[in-house]
């Protein structure tokens, strides 16, 4: 009970969220394997998008970072270490570390490129010869989650920057011939309301997964959601205590899946069928094939298996392909159903 009381700002527990299974699964798989490429969540207003994203960040175990390092550098993974920490390691200096919660960075809608990427103090660099870097949101999001609400209302250039960093794991800032590069590996989560416009197809395609969420229509479920929220608002610590075991179980499952992920395999014939589905659906490029393979492995690891089965692919394939299909305004079948139909004819 004392552990729960230490929480200064209670966050709604992930396991207490009713429904929205697509969104929850996409977030869990991206946390297990950030290389899936993030998730775009499109749905109605007031469906718990922000609540769910904050809840998954709060659920994750603390991470070890280099003390006083603005990039949340890892102590041993070179892809997650800033240049200054690398220099200290190469010089044999002692590195002190501390434990922090997984960073959860919210991008404000009016953010500028400097606010996102960070800035270099040119005057100090020219007069004193010192590279002074003011970190942006990408630096703070390293090894965490970057949440971009209303991503479909952002400037395409900014969206490009997030997607490039999420794909490469690095952010490079160049000003007046001075360049600074730092690790920026994070799970990119975008959300938006389709009524306010879609992302351009070439940007949408770069998100690993696409979850669609709808307002719950069933009266009994709506009542359950409202009651759950009321219980949390009236006594958040009691609510956290009630879901503590479920939270711990899910956290352990995610940590175990992260640990065994590298050993998960997928048979050649299943990989061929995945590519056959992508070809049948006329998906441009190979991103769809790659993401399905990654997501299926993450799902198998989540279920404590080291070999991908057909059902693993079935659970993730719509999330991975729905947003990559060419839109036909005359087509009465929604994209998810089309993916399911082709999957069934290829695999079953």
> For residue range 152-182, what is the model confidence (pLDDT) as tens digits?
888 888 888 888 888 888 988 887 777 788 8
Distance, CA of 148 to CA of 162 (rounded, Å): 9
- Cα 253 to Cα 48, 103, 305, distances in angstroms: 23, 20, 12
User: Nearest-CA neighbor of 110 among 70, 142, 153, 171?
Assistant: 153
Q: Which domains does the chain have, with CATH numbers?
A: 2-60+101-213 (3.40.50.300), 261-347 (1.10.8.80)
Q: Would you state the structure tokens that stand for residue 320, as one six-digit string? A: 């991975």
Q: Would you state the structure tokens that stand for residue 319, as one six-digit string? A: 């999330």
Does the structure show a pLDDT above 70 at 334? Answer: no
Q: Which pLDDT tens digit goes with each residue over 265-291?
A: 999 999 999 999 999 999 988 999 999
Does the structure show a pLDDT above 70 at 110? Answer: yes
Question: How sure is the predictor about 239, in pLDDT bands with cuts at 50, 70 and 90?
Answer: confident
Phi, psi of 79 (to 5 degrees): -75, -10
Q: Give the number of other Cβ atoms within 10 Å of residue 247's Cβ.
A: 18
Q: What is the pLDDT of residue 209?
A: 94
Does the structure show a pLDDT above 80 at 348? Answer: no
Bigger pLDDT: 215 vs 262: 262
Distance, CA of 108 to CA of 212 (rounded, Å): 23
Does the structure show a pLDDT above 60 at 329? Answer: no
Report the DSSP pairing between strands 39-43 and 209-213.
parallel
Q: Is 220 helix (H, G, I), strand (E, B) or coil?
A: helix
Question: How sure is the predictor about 198, in pLDDT bands with cuts at 50, 70 and 90?
Answer: confident
Q: Would you state the structure tokens that stand for residue 237, as one six-digit string? A: 């610590």
Phi, psi of 87 (to 5 degrees): -60, -45
Rg (CA), the chain: 21
Question: How sure is the predictor about 48, in pLDDT bands with cuts at 50, 70 and 90?
Answer: confident
Q: What is the dihedral of CA 307, 312, 314, 317, to 10 degrees?
A: -90
Alpha helix stretches (DSSP H) within the chain: 2-5, 21-32, 49-59, 83-90, 113-117, 122-128, 137-140, 156-168, 201-204, 219-234, 236-242, 244-260, 268-280, 287-302, 310-321, 335-347
Averaged over 4-22, what is the pLDDT?
Answer: 76
Q: What is the dihedral of CA 69, 51, 60, 65, to 10 degrees?
A: 0
Q: What is the pLDDT of residue 267?
A: 96
Q: What is the pLDDT of residue 3?
A: 45
Q: Which pLDDT tens digit goes with each residue over 125-138?
A: 667 666 677 888 99
For all residues of the chain together, what is the average pLDDT? 86
Provide the percentage of residues in the chain whose pLDDT is more than 90: 32
269 Cβ contact list (under 8 Å, min separation 6): none
User: Nearest-CA neighbor of 21 among 241, 211, 288?
Assistant: 211
DSSP calls for 83-136: HHHHHHHHTT----EEEEPPPEEEEPTT--HHHHHEEE-HHHHHHH----EEE-
Averaged over 319-324, what is the pLDDT?
Answer: 92
Q: Which pLDDT tens digit goes with each residue over 177-194?
A: 777 888 888 999 988 887
Whole-structure pTM value: 0.88
Does the structure show a pLDDT above 90 at 96? Answer: no
**Maximum mean pLDDT: which of 92-106, 286-300, 317-331, 333-347:** 286-300
Residue positions annotated with a catalytic role: 287
Distance, CA of 33 to CA of 27 (rounded, Å): 10
Provide the percentage of residues in the chain whose pLDDT is more than 70: 93
């Amino acid at each position: 009970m004392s552990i729960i009381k230490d929480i200064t700002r209670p966050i709604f527990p992930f396991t207490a969220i009713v429904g929205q299974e697509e969104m929850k699964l996409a977030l869990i798989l991206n946390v297990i394997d950030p290389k899936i490429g993030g998730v775009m969540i499109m749905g109605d207003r007031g469906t718990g998008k922000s609540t769910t994203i904050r809840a998954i960040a709060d659920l994750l175990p603390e991470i070890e970072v280099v003390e006083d390092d603005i990039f949340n550098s890892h102590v041993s993974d070179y892809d997650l270490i800033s240049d200054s920490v690398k220099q200290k390691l190469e010089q044999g200096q002692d590195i002190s570390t501390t434990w922090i919660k997984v960073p959860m960075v919210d991008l404000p809608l009016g953010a500028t490129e400097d606010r996102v990427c960070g800035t270099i103090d040119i005057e100090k660099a020219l007069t004193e010869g010192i590279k002074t870097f003011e970190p942006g949101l990408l630096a703070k999001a390293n090894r965490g989650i970057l949440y971009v609400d209303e991503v479909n209302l952002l400037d395409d250039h900014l969206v490009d920057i997030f997607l490039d960093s999420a794909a490469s794991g690095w952010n490079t800032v160049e000003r007046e011939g001075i360049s600074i590069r730092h690790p920026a590996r994070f799970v990119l989560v975008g959300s938006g309301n389709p009524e306010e416009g879609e992302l351009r197809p070439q940007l949408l395609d770069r998100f690993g997964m696409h979850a669609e969420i709808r307002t719950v229509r069933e009266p009994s479920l709506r009542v359950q959601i409202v009651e759950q929220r009321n219980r949390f608002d009236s006594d958040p610590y009691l609510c956290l205590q009630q879901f503590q075991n479920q939270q711990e179980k899910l956290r352990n499952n995610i940590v175990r899946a992260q640990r065994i992920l590298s050993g998960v395999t997928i048979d050649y014939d299943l990989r061929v069928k995945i590519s056959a589905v992508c070809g049948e659906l006329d998906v441009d490029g190979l991103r769809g094939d790659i993401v399905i393979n990654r997501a299926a492995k993450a799902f198998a690891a989540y279920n404590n298996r080291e070999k991908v089965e057909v059902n693993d692919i079935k659970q993730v394939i719509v999330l991975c392909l729905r947003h990559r299909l060419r839109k036909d305004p005359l087509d009465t079948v929604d994209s998810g159903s089309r993916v399911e139909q082709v999957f069934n004819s290829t695999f079953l």
